[in-house]
Structure 1
Amino acid sequence: MSDYVLETKDLVKHFPLTTGILFKKQIGAVQAVDGINLQLRRGETLGIVGESGCGKSTLARLLVGLETPTSGAITVRGKDISRLRGGEMRRYRRNIQLVMQDPYTSLNPRMTVGDIIGEPFDIHPEVVPKRDRRRKVQELLELVGSNPDHINRYPHQFSGGQRQRIGIARALALQPEIIVCDEPVSALDVSIQAQVVNLLKRLQNELGLSYIFIAHDLSVVRHIADRVGVMYLGKIAEIGTEDEIYERTTHPYTQALLSAVPVPDPKLRGLRDQIVLEGDVPSPADPPSGCRFRTRCWKAQDICAVESPALTVRPGSDHPSACHFAEVRDVVHAVE
């Protein structure tokens, strides 16, 4: 049996671009996710980072079954779930849940906290008998550090951090093995972000959870992730352990991201080798040929426009990188 609880194999999601009203004709496609290969071990946190529009949220929706892949496979415990439908998909979703980005829009304002957290039991009545649901909801509230006596309150009566705890409690209701966190702290104040990240780490240790943690804040990801994958225009540019990515990064895009992190220590600012990327991010509907980062890369050569670099371990490196000219470069940054 595989050591991985979740794997993706050449995962692709293209959204068609059409013209016409009655007789629609496809004229192209937005290549949101284009050949992603990932593995997640039990009890591990895999961080996914990248700029807005790189395909992170689409990847999250694919993993939880809210989108159907264009091609490729998603395997959970050795079973391909990418084409499941109906009852089979419903059973699969018990095992993988989603914590959404915005706690202000992810909770139904017309439902009480008890109804929101207990709603998964209506879909999966076999999990908890009806007579025990109120007690179970209160236990979930207590588990995430909320007051179980607030079960009859509405979302507008809670702060952003408290709402996100409710969202986490809802994700835990069906006792999943995997939780996909789609930028769960980006809408929160910094102090509250730390509380939510610490809560997620505690729950992982207590319940043996595996996380896909999606974010654009590199410092947050470093505090929670065991491994980190860097996405650019629908592809994985580099992937490795936390130390490999933050201390021995080899891909030019990752190096640029790290160099952009603010340095609070004035003594280190003069040592900063800041990398300023030129140009705009290309459209995922018309990505560059070859390496997708080449139009903004200072290392780009002729081969970069012709041949798409494979995600592989390059000479002098200890982790995979999708760059023909990958090399370790010291970057002074503030991600500690």
Structure 2
Amino acid sequence: MADAEPVLEVRDLVKHFPLTQGIVFKRQIGAVRAVDGVSFTLHRGETLGIVGESGCGKSTVAKLLVSLEKPTSGQILYKGEDITRLSGRALKAVRRNIQMVFQDPYTSLNPRMTVGDIIGEPFDIHPEVAPKGERRRKVQELLDVVGLNPEYINRYPHQFSGGQRQRIGIARGLALNPEIIVADEPVSALDVSVQAQVVNLMERLQAEFGLSYLFIAHDLSVVRHISDRVGVMYLGKLVELGTDHEIYEHPTHPYTQALLSAVPVPDPELAGRRERIILTGDVPSPANPPTGCRFRTRCWKARERCALEVPPLAVPAEYRYAEGPAHHDSACFFAEDDPAVTAPDTPAQH
């Protein structure tokens, strides 16, 4: 169970990538608003899932949290300290506690390094964690923890399957005993049966080591299986945030309702009773997003107010004092609870 104390707080996080023109004398002519005012908290022992379409800013959020990118503005507070202002040794110390598992197990591992060198590389940067005389034993322990034979320490990445390579990536992420793991679509490149194994492994490691996960994915079923809370992103913004039950059983934002209505249902009778929401138009460019609510150009509930004001991520006014389950944050002026639009149970099982 997640602890009440937040281990990570993100406040109004913004990342804009400049668009330039010219070869010699470059000038900025605009910006891609990849992340535009995202706020959330991550509690100790909790898994927060982030879902959304490709290009909505999920991976950029992940890179900002592990300092692979510098934010344009906003704060990332780790135990109350803003890590966006840190550098040098102070940043190095914090990064030890926030590690990342990358999306593609085929490109995130150096093909010229053995598994032992890949998992042991963090010890070169933080030698205090494992002195040289203990590194081989430590690496073998990590291999065993993620379900691989410790004798594979001298093998190379090409000698492993995709699922085994992702286990190696997870072992590397665990090497420094972090408190937070940022998992950027860690199972999207794997077969469905292997996905379930890796997700179950991550759940076991979380229980064993007390880890907090930020789990980024576009597969709604996988996110439901592993997450305590779920945030839905659209065009650089969080549009809905709540517990897994609130999001999947009582979605209030039109975009979330549309996403969930598109999830396949194995039961033909249930599928026939569900309302399928077909969105019109294309996703707007993050370099030129719509005014007001960014989803309004594809929303069937959009009104004049949606073009003039940016809806805050908060409990909708109509549910604020009402009894019922729809008491979670939703960035919509005209949100309504639609129990007919729900997602099926995830196929990934223990």
TM-score band, normalised by shorter chain: over 0.9
Q: CA RMSD in A?
A: 0.8
Instruction: Name which of structure 1's ranges 261-270 and 73-82 shifts more when overlaid on structure 2.
Output: 261-270
Instruction: Map 1:268-279 onto structure 2 (within 5 A).
Output: 268-279=270-281
Aligned-partner residue type, residue 295 of structure 1: T
Residue aligning to 2:331: 322
Q: Report what 2:118 is aligned to.
A: 116
Tell me what 1:54 maps to. Answer: 56
Give the letter for the 2:329 counterpart: P
- The answer to whether the Cα contact below 8 Å between 1:46 and 1:225 also exists between their aligned partners in 2 is yes
Q: What is the CA–CA distance in structure 2 between the aligned matches of 1:106 and 1:79, rounded to whole Å?
A: 29
Alpha-carbon contact 2:248-2:342 (below 8 Å) kept:
no
Amino acid at match of 1:176: P
**TM-score normalised per structure 2:** 0.95
Question: 1:329 & 1:301 partners in 2: Cα distance?
Answer: 19
Distance in 1 of aligned mates of 2:240 and 2:123: 39
Cα distance in structure 2, aligned partners of 1:104 and 1:156:
8
Give identity over the alignment, percent.
73
Deviations along 1:94-135, one digit per CA (max 9) or x if unpaired, are 000000000000000000000000000001111111000000
Q: Which residue of 2 aligns with 1:267?
A: 269
TM-score, scaled relative to structure 1:
0.99
CA distance in 2, matches of 1:153, 1:332: 45
How much has 1:3 moved relative to structure 2? Answer: 1.4
Q: Aligned partners of 1:87 and 1:33: how far apart in 2?
A: 27
Aligned counterpart for 1:334 among listed residues 333, 341, 344: 344
CA pair 124-233 structure 1, distance change in 2 beyond 3 A: same
2:68 corresponding residue in structure 1: 66
Distance 1:175 1:39 in 2: 21
What SS does structure 1 have at the residue aligned with 2:273?
Answer: coil
Tell me the distance in 1 between the aligned counterparts of 2:126 and 2:343: 47
Structure 1: 4+ residue segments shifted above 4 A: none
Q: Shift of residue 332 of structure 1?
A: 4.5
Could you list the runs of 5+ residues in structure 2 that have no partner in the other structure? 320-325
Task: Determine helix, strand or coil for the equivalent of 1:68.
Answer: coil
Deviation at 1:91, TM superposition (A): 1.1
CA contact (8 A) 1:96 1:177 kept: yes
Question: Which amino acid is 1:318 matched to?
Answer: H
Spell out, residue by residue over 1:26-49, the C-alpha distance to the aligned partner (whole angstroms, 9 max, x if none).
000000000011100000000000
Contact persistence 1:268–1:332 (CA under 8 A): no
The answer on 1:177 being equivalent to 2:179 is: yes
Q: Contact conserved, 2:249 with 2:342, CA < 8 A, in 1?
A: no
From 205, 215, 240, give the equivalent of 2:207. Answer: 205
Counterparts of 1:19-34 in structure 2, within 5 Å, are 19-34=21-36
User: Are the aligned partners of 1:12 and 1:69 in contact in 2 as well (CA < 8 Å)?
Assistant: yes
Q: 1:227 maps to what in 2? A: 229
Secondary structure, counterpart of 2:138 in structure 1: helix
Aligned length: 335
Partner of 1:107: 109
| TM-fit CA distance, 1:335 | 3.6
